[in-house]
Amino acid sequence: MGDTVKYLLDESEMPTQWYNIIPDLPQPPPPPLHPGTHEPIGPDDLAPLFPMALIMQEVSTESYIDIPDEVLDIYRLWRPSPLYRARRLEKALDTPARIYYKYEGVSPAGSHKPNTAVPQAYYNAQEGVTNLTTETGAGQWGSALAFACGLFGIDCEVWQVAASFEQKPYRKSMMETWGATVHSSPSPLTEAGRAILAEDPDSPGSLGIAISEAVEVAAQNDETRYALGSVLNHVLLHQTIIGEEALLQMQMAGDTPDVIVGCTGGGSNFAGLSFPFLREKLAGRINPTIRAVEPSACPSLTKGVYAYDSGDTAGMTPLMKMHTLGHDFVPDPIHAGGLRYHGMAPLLSHIYELGLIEAIAIGQTECFTEALQFARTEGIIPAPEPTHAIAAAVREALACKESGEEKVILTAVCGHGHFDLASYDKFLSGDLVDFEYPEEKVAAALEHLPTME
């Protein structure tokens, strides 16, 4: 009895290994290429940017990688995270479907990002790195890295996309409270930033530009490395703790998901939730539909091309084969800042090409409509990013209401919306609009893809 149904693992049941899906795939993903030579890059090429332990995880062919004790110790500050059954939402929808959501907003930074920020800070500290640089859009990743660096005594320098720096001053304060230094990007501190500012002194910035700045500073300083909050294999790897926990919690619930939906920006939250379930699916033990949900305004999987492209605007990163809208595409200012990235994780892109997952795009007004209902039934105010996952779960649940099917739907609410209430305010005032898919802007950006001979 009761409408609150929460599945909690004991600390002793917390997974102690991350899952690497690559060895279980029918084909390995295409390699990253050097941006100058277009030859596959090796570990040494990445050494100026990342500590060797993370580079080795990036190219690992092991199925499981032990989580260091020091990382597990910090994970325990908030992990294992809860899995809820959304009974109050189900009632409001009058659906026979059973909706479960994994909630990652319980971390100190309020999202799933600390799952990878903590090991990234740890491995850097282990190898004597004293300074880390990174970029942040909505601020979730910068906050997570600031938190993690604080715990390991690493100086953290964050380039925050100018538009977000202006609109979300409290994210900056949060990063500074944890000891980080925050710059508005584009900044006059880097060549990449100065080049953009010379063209447009009022540039609102973009994730691609901010990455260029953070990478430039890391590449030029021996004791400084760079940290990325999504896209790369090792980041997706660290996030699999979400899905590994969810697998155990679904067993506690005695239910098997028929549909798994998750929001995708760079892809780390979606991969983290779904890869352990995809492993079970590839092994023939379960057979869920697995569906990525992206914003209509930045639909890299559903509308982008699958091609080698740069991860940043200035072309400093390795070229990665991925679904991309073009590295100089600047998405419309939707409220899910964490989903405003021109590309999709190469590993997820590859898995999508293999036909192992589906993808859909949803506009933000539908997302906020469902988020409001979620907040008023489940009590949690979701960040704009997971409102996409919630909207997709609701679509599925309403389809079940039509068909009478009792499907089991699993999703993840990857963060809370405490720093995003201006977006809710805009929605409640009726001022939030959907942006059309910007066909011409994407076509123009795709003309600038690197030419592969």
Contact status: 166 vs its own copies (CB under 8 A): no
| Choice from 271, 381, 397, 445 touching its own copies (CB under 8 A) | 381
Q: Which is nearer to its own copies, 123 or 424 (CB)?
A: 424
**Parallel, antiparallel or unpaired: strands 319-324 and 259-263:** unpaired
Complete DSSP assignment for 395-452: HHHHHHHHH----EEEEEE-BB-TT-HHHHHHHHTT---PPPP-HHHHHHHHTTSPPP
- Rounded CA separation 245/251 (Å): 10
Which range in 176-184, 245-253, 300-308, 386-394 contacts its own copies by CB under 8 A?
Answer: 176-184
- Rounded CA separation 381/371 (Å): 7
Reduced to 3 states (helix: H, G, I; strand: E, B; else coil), residue 362 is: strand
What is the smallest separation between the CB atom of 49 and its own copies, expressed in angstroms?
A: 26
Reduced to 3 states (helix: H, G, I; strand: E, B; else coil), residue 333 is: coil
User: At which residue do the structure tokens 């009761």 appear?
Assistant: 2
Report how far Cα 411 is from the mean position of its chain's Cα atoms: 14
Six-digit token pair at 269?
């939250």
What is the smallest separation between the CB atom of 379 and its own copies, expressed in angstroms?
A: 4
At 393, which amino acid appears? A
Q: Which is nearer to its own copies, 58 or 70 (CB)?
A: 70
Composition of the chain by helix, strand, coil, percent to 5 = 45, 20, 40
Beta pairing partners, 135: 159
At 59, which amino acid appears? V
What is the smallest separation between the CB atom of 248 and its own copies, expressed in angstroms?
A: 16
Q: Which is nearer to its own copies, 176 or 191 (CB)?
A: 176
Which range in 4-12, 18-26, 350-358, 430-438 contacts its own copies by CB under 8 A?
Answer: 4-12
Residues numbered 97-136 forming contacts with its own copies, rule: CB under 8 A: 106, 108, 110
| Choice from 101, 159, 419, 437 touching its own copies (CB under 8 A) | 419
- Are 137 and 163 within 8 A, CB to CB? no
Q: Say how many residues touch its own copies, by CB under 8 A.
A: 45
- Rounded CA separation 443/422 (Å): 32
What is the smallest separation between the CB atom of 432 and its own copies, expressed in angstroms?
A: 12
Which range in 38-46, 335-343, 378-386, 439-447 contacts its own copies by CB under 8 A?
Answer: 378-386
Question: Using CB under 8 A as the criterion, what x/- string covers residues 50-89 for binding its own copies?
Answer: -------------------x--xxx-xx------x---x-
Contact status: 91 vs its own copies (CB under 8 A): no
What is the number of other CB atoms lying within 10 angstroms of the CB of residue 290? 22
| Choice from 380, 408, 414, 442 touching its own copies (CB under 8 A) | 380
Burial of 155: CB neighbours in 10 Å, binned 0-12, 13-18, 19+ = middle
Q: Which is nearer to its own copies, 21 or 174 (CB)?
A: 174
- Are 187 and 216 within 8 A, CB to CB? no
- Are 132 and 224 within 8 A, CB to CB? yes
Contact status: 48 vs its own copies (CB under 8 A): no
Contact status: 11 vs its own copies (CB under 8 A): yes
What is the smallest separation between the CB atom of 207 and its own copies, expressed in angstroms?
A: 23
Question: Using CB under 8 A as the criterion, what x/- string covers residues 316-355 for binding its own copies?
Answer: ----------------------------------------
Judged by the rule CB under 8 A, the positions of this chain that interact with its own copies are 1-4, 6, 8, 11, 69, 72-74, 76-77, 84, 88, 106, 108, 110, 147, 150-151, 169-170, 172-174, 176-179, 372, 375-381, 418-419, 421-422, 424-425, 428
